[in-house]
Amino acid sequence: MKYTLVLGIAYKKYKNPGDIAVYVGGRLIDAFQIDQDVTFVCEDAVTSLLDETWYRRLDLFRWLARLGTDNYTETTFADATSTTTDYDHTVNHATHELVPKLFKIYEIEEQDLNGLVEIKVDNSYNDYNNGFMKNNSMIRFPCIGLFPSHFVENRGEQLMRIAKKIGGGSDKYEKRTGRNRYDDYKHLLHTWPRVGSFYTKRQNNMHEKDRVLTGRCWIGGDFTAEIPIKTKHRIKYLSSMAYNETGFFWWDHWTSILATCKPLLNIYNEDQRSNRTKD
């Protein structure tokens, strides 16, 4: 079985291009440069990017309304040893900071999905002088996702059907427990197919420490983002470093975006996906 790995990127350039290399199971699958700023799709344009087919057929138009108007919430972590009880804070973001204008998409054989997905970034460009710094290059990974490639056939049908089941299960969980996942830090659940957090390993810890970060974080300097590859329900998935992975996966906006974003669907349907970008 083949899998699709999706990497969404936002970037703020200072002076020189950033160099990015992507490894899966210790094997280099791509290396590229980003030589200009990469921003986000405007808030009022997010829903226009989405194919409405399965929202209509599965009675999920409320999800489109939510994407058009809602904020979304993510959590930052205190340090590299964070567990599900060590949090900094949660932050609300408008959906205009949700979908970046650059994606890299790769199709990978299941037998090659072992160990880690590693994203190595060389991006130490700044104006640091005598203890002060005003400008520096920074990068964000709003989306790092992995799913079986056939889930997005027929305009994302199977992934949307699974998303509906996950969303229904999330609603039942909240009603049964009285918990809101964003208000109850001890019970944050793992989202799928997008990973909720990842470990960043620094080349040196002089200015920045190794730590767990999320897709909402702008990251400067040289580092490697590490995401473990695991198996659950006979499906390979990317493991969040600090979320609770017991029980079912949780729904978030990216579950449906990965299934219905028209620019992504166009790339999924191409015969050759490796080294493809959409901006």
pLDDT at 43: 63
In order of 18, 214, 244, 266, the CA distances from 249 in angstroms are 34, 17, 9, 27
Summarize pLDDT for 133-154 with one digit per residue, the tens: 677 899 999 999 999 999 999 9
Summarize pLDDT for 168-191 with one digit per residue, the tens: 876 676 677 776 655 554 455 678
pLDDT at 177: 72
CA nearest to 67, candidates 279, 259, 195, 254: 254
* 183-147-258 Cα angle (round to 5): 65
**Interval 13-36 mean pLDDT:** 96
pLDDT at 127: 64
pLDDT at 44: 67
What pTM does this model have? 0.85
Beta-sheet pairing, 2-12 with 102-109: antiparallel
Q: Which tokens hold the place of 113?
A: 């999905």
pLDDT at 276: 44
CA nearest to 158, candidates 46, 8, 58: 58
Query: What are the structural domain ranges in the chain?
Result: 2-274
Q: What distance in Å separates the CA atoms of residue 53 and residue 51, rounded to the nearest whole number?
A: 6
Band the pLDDT of 270: cuts 50, 70, 90.
confident
pLDDT at 249: 75
Residue 71 predicted with pLDDT over 70: no
pLDDT at 228: 96
Summarize pLDDT for 214-244 with one digit per residue, the tens: 888 999 989 999 999 999 889 999 998 766 6
